[in-house]
Amino acid sequence: MVRRQPTDPPPIDLLASVQGEVSWFCCGTAWGPCSTTGKGACGTCNSGSLQHAWPNTSDACWAITHPDTCGFNLSRRTCGFQHRITALCSGTSVVTAIADCGPQTDLFCGEKSCCGATCASNRLIDLTPAAYSKIASLSAGLRPCEISTP
Amino acid sequence: MTSRRQMLKSALLGGGASVVAATALGSLGPEAAFATAGAPEVEPGTVDPNFAEGRIRSIKDNTLLVLGSNMVFHNIRVVDGTSLWKLGPVPFEQAKPGDGLYARGVRMPDGVLAAEAVWLNIVNIKGHIKNITSDKIHLDHNGQEVLCHVVPGKSVAVHSESPPSADLSMLRVSQHVQILGAWRPDTNEVDIATVFSPH
């Protein structure tokens, strides 16, 4: 497990918004391959609610997602904490609450998604279908975004 | 300026507005369908009343009767301007009983969801490739194998910021990918729309 040392820079999203990739995932009662997903790390996750997964909800979560591998020292945010996610393609935003741990940032290190000349790298957040569909089409499975606090 | 939501309401509330509204709404390409100005804010973390998920139980005229996975029924009205997706844009006739769906629109006072967009059988799953052939990817998704079919003319791979390519030959066994596709109802099989690969 990786712990921050006193000399490390502060987590970036304490100081300013951060840009990365956003995708969507299903949770809660569901159909198809999602039917076995469950209610997430917080026990409240539901595809129809305005929620998201965050890579640093606990030590155990961080040990799975490891955004530091991609150079991100994201702040610890726990269940219910709210973020504003703005789609860089459309400029539309949605405010959602943490309901799960994820995405597994380290498995997609360096990945970049773009719309036109607007790009962002690394998977930092996953939205429920209800939340993602407020800012992009579900058929666009990956988009650049900006993450901030509301 | 009339918002999309107002047009959808007009389309449902009659007054001869439906066809006009649908035309004015335009082609409703997936990226164009998300203007929500004027919609009341939904509390973060809570259920969004303007969204529905579930499986189609029956279809009557332009209305989908959908049983949510939480056992709540939804009546989802499709108007001429509604965009439907099933491995790509499709006409209303492609919606079938048994299909899973997500829908976003405007919840009307009578409880009907006037749909802006309906995504039929859409799944977006991550996992690692256990095996790959020219026409199939065996994906390990949370310990369960999902058989993903390459559909000629439809399936593409996106390698990071590179443009989508119909050539899936750069994908490799054991690598992690995200597969967006259309579930084949009541199976563990998916038709591939896009494979997102970080490399």
Decide if A88 is inside a domain.
Answer: yes
Domain with A53 in it: 14-148
3-state secondary structure of A113: strand
Backbone angles phi, psi at A127, to 5 degrees: -105, 155
CB A127 within 8 A of CB A22: yes
Tell me the nearest-neighbour CA distance from B28 into chain A, angstroms. 11
Chain A, 29 to 58: residues with Cβ < 8 Å from chain B are 29-37, 44, 46-51
> Which pLDDT band holds residue B17 (cuts at 50, 70, 90)?
very low
Q: Cα–Cα distance between A14 and B102 in angstroms, integer?
A: 34
Decide if A43 is inside a domain.
Answer: yes
Decide if A114 is inside a domain.
Answer: yes
Decide if A7 is inside a domain.
Answer: no
pLDDT tens column, B178-188: 999 999 999 99
Domains of chain B: 4-120 (2.40.50), 122-197 (2.40.50.140)
Decide if A5 is inside a domain.
Answer: no
CB atoms within 10 A of CB A58: 13
Q: Cα–Cα distance between B156 and B158 in angstroms, integer?
A: 7
pLDDT of residue A148: 94
Decide if A139 is inside a domain.
Answer: yes
Q: Cα–Cα distance between B62 and B104 in angstroms, integer?
A: 16
- Looking at the 3D structure of chain A, how many domains does it have? 1
Q: ipTM score of the complex?
A: 0.90
- Determine whether A85 is exposed, middle or buried from the number of CB atoms within 10 Å of its CB (0-12, 13-18, 19+): buried
pLDDT of residue B199: 80
What is the mean predicted confidence (pLDDT) over A141-146? 96
Chain A, 82 to 121: residues with Cβ < 8 Å from chain B are 82, 89-90, 92, 95-97, 99, 103-104, 107-114, 119
pLDDT tens column, A36-88: 778 999 999 999 999 999 999 999 999 999 999 999 889 999 999 999 999 99
Q: Which residues pair with B155 in a beta bridge?
A: none
3-state secondary structure of B83: strand
Question: Which positions in chain A touch B122 (Cβ < 8 Å)?
Answer: 138-139
Amino acid, single-letter form, for residue A102: G
Write the CB contacts of A94 (distance below 8 Å, at least 6 apart in sequence): A50, A84, A85, A127, A131, A134, A135
Tell me the nearest-neighbour CA distance from A9 into chain B, angstroms. 27
Q: What is the DSSP letter of B94?
A: G
Decide if A8 is inside a domain.
Answer: no
Q: CATH number for the domain including A47? A: 2.40.40.10
pLDDT tens column, A74-124: 999 999 999 999 999 999 999 999 999 999 999 999 999 998 899 999 999
